[in-house]
Copies of this chain bind each other. A is one copy, B any other.
Amino acid sequence: MARTLPSFLLSEIASLVKGRLVGDSELVINSLHTLESAKPGQLSFLANAKYVTSLSLTKASAVLVAENNLVNVPCAAVVVDDPYLAFAQLSKFFDWRVKASFGIASSAHISTSAQVHEQASIAPGVVLGDETIVEAGVYIGPNAVVGNRCIVAKDARIEAGAILYDDVHIGQRSLIHSGAVLGADGFGFAPTKSAWVKIFQLGGVRVGQDVEIGAGTTVDRGALDHTYIKDGVKLDNQIQVAHNVVIGEQTAIAGCTAIAGSTKIGRRCTIAGLSGIVGHLTIADNTHVTAMSLISKSVSQPGQVLSSGTGQELHRSWKKNVIRFKKLDSMAKRITALENKVDNFSSEG
């Protein structure tokens, strides 16, 4: 498999990001790198003012910068409003990875009632269920499994070993990473004195367009209605989305967060890693949650930042403070008692 590494003239790059070129337009750029590690032939960027020293020392041939940092640039530059965004836009053009194209592998096991577009790529070991539809430009990686009556829309990508149960729809251009499981049973049981009685999970999963779902993330099927991941949502690795959750457009959630059943999360929220959101809540648009926070009440006002936890400490001091935490209620009462006594002195005084 021969491969040609991508390379661009600096003038082409300026044009791709609609930036203003400062320096040699004929410079050949063959890859991207950080300011600290870049070598000649590479393009870098300054996204955060605190790295301005790295900018002035960089060995890169060119950099993406905002106007106000141009003075510190020791090489060629492309001036843009948002260098981080310009870098993101360019990253796609420097992706050296050859897009695998298996055609439709002979070792894939495809139901006779499935409809697979001839321009889809189905890797070895894939299993596709009954009445499932795979549209043009779709890639389904090695050993991935797609159940019955699923839809994988145009240009979506299901990576190796990902699993879709029955009745899971994936929107256009969405990307499902390896180890993700979509459509497993929601965790629903009715208690009796002797045992838990299973509630069969009859809903499906609906994933919108331009969604990314990380490795090992699980999205359970709904109990009666579906579970919804709306357009543009980005889910990191190992996130748990329980049955009947709705995640609103453009919301981004970091790794290992868990969202309990029937909770509705608004649009453009950001939720940091290892957070937990309990069930049956409604979270307003633009809510931001800091790392390892537990959200246990609905949030009605948009744009708030929420937290919980005690913050990092040396174990030996933490241990003393935790003992006091367990006496906080009595400490508060002692303060009130003191205040009363001292007020008495004052009034007596």
Interface residues of A (CB under 8 A from B): 1, 31-34, 37, 82, 84-85, 87-89, 91-92, 94-98, 100, 105, 107, 109, 111, 113, 123-125, 127, 129-131, 141-143, 145, 147-148, 159-161, 163, 165-167, 175, 177-179, 181, 184-185, 187-192, 194-202, 210, 212, 214-216, 218, 220, 223-225, 232, 234, 236-238, 240, 242, 250, 252, 254-256, 258, 260, 272-274, 276, 278, 288, 290-297, 304-329, 331-332, 334-335, 338-339, 341-342, 345-346, 348-349
Shortest distance from the beta carbon of A71 to any chain B beta carbon, whole Å: 24
Nearest-CB residue, chain B, relative to A96 = B202
Residues A184 and B232 in contact in the complex (CB < 8 Å), given A329-B320, A331-B331 = no
The answer to whether B328 touches A311 (Cβ under 8 A) is no
What are 15 contact pairs spanning A and B, CB under 8 A? A88-B188, A92-B200, A100-B129, A107-B107, A125-B143, A145-B178, A179-B216, A187-B255, A196-B234, A196-B250, A238-B238, A255-B258, A306-B315, A310-B322, A323-B329
Residue of B32, B175, B197 near A85 (CB, 8 A) is B197
Nearest-CB residue, chain B, relative to A293 = B312
The answer to whether B311 touches A322 (Cβ under 8 A) is yes
The answer to whether B276 touches A274 (Cβ under 8 A) is yes
Residues A236 and B127 in contact in the complex (CB < 8 Å), given A107-B109, A142-B109, A179-B179 = no
The answer to whether B237 touches A218 (Cβ under 8 A) is yes
Shortest distance from the beta carbon of A36 to any chain B beta carbon, whole Å: 9
The answer to whether B278 touches A291 (Cβ under 8 A) is yes
Residue of B131, B141, B288, B294 near A312 (CB, 8 A) is B294
B residues near A240, Cβ cutoff 8 Å: 216, 236-238, 255-256, 273
Complex-state Cα separation, A145 to B98, whole angstroms: 16
Complex-state Cα separation, A276 to B312, whole angstroms: 10
The answer to whether B85 touches A192 (Cβ under 8 A) is yes
Residue of B202, B225, B254 near A260 (CB, 8 A) is B254
B residues near A305, Cβ cutoff 8 Å: 314-316
B residues near A313, Cβ cutoff 8 Å: 306-308, 326
The answer to whether B88 touches A199 (Cβ under 8 A) is yes
Residues A341 and B342 in contact in the complex (CB < 8 Å), given A145-B142, A190-B87 = yes
B residues near A335, Cβ cutoff 8 Å: 331, 334-335, 338
B residues near A96, Cβ cutoff 8 Å: 202
Q: How many copies does the complex hold?
A: 3
Residue of B92, B143, B184, B310 near A177 (CB, 8 A) is B184
The answer to whether A187 touches B254 (Cβ under 8 A) is yes
B residues near A322, Cβ cutoff 8 Å: 309-311
The answer to whether A237 touches B184 (Cβ under 8 A) is yes
Nearest-CB residue, chain B, relative to A128 = B142
Nearest-CB residue, chain B, relative to A242 = B255
Report the 10 A-B pairs with minimum CB-CB distance, sorted nearest first. A88-B190, A127-B142, A305-B315, A184-B215, A91-B200, A109-B124, A324-B328, A181-B215, A320-B329, A163-B178
Residue of B148, B326, B334 near A98 (CB, 8 A) is B148
The answer to whether A1 touches B113 (Cβ under 8 A) is yes
Most chain B CB within a 10 A radius of its CB, from A33, A113, A185, A328: A328
Residues A105 and B109 in contact in the complex (CB < 8 Å), given A178-B184, A199-B87, A199-B88 = yes
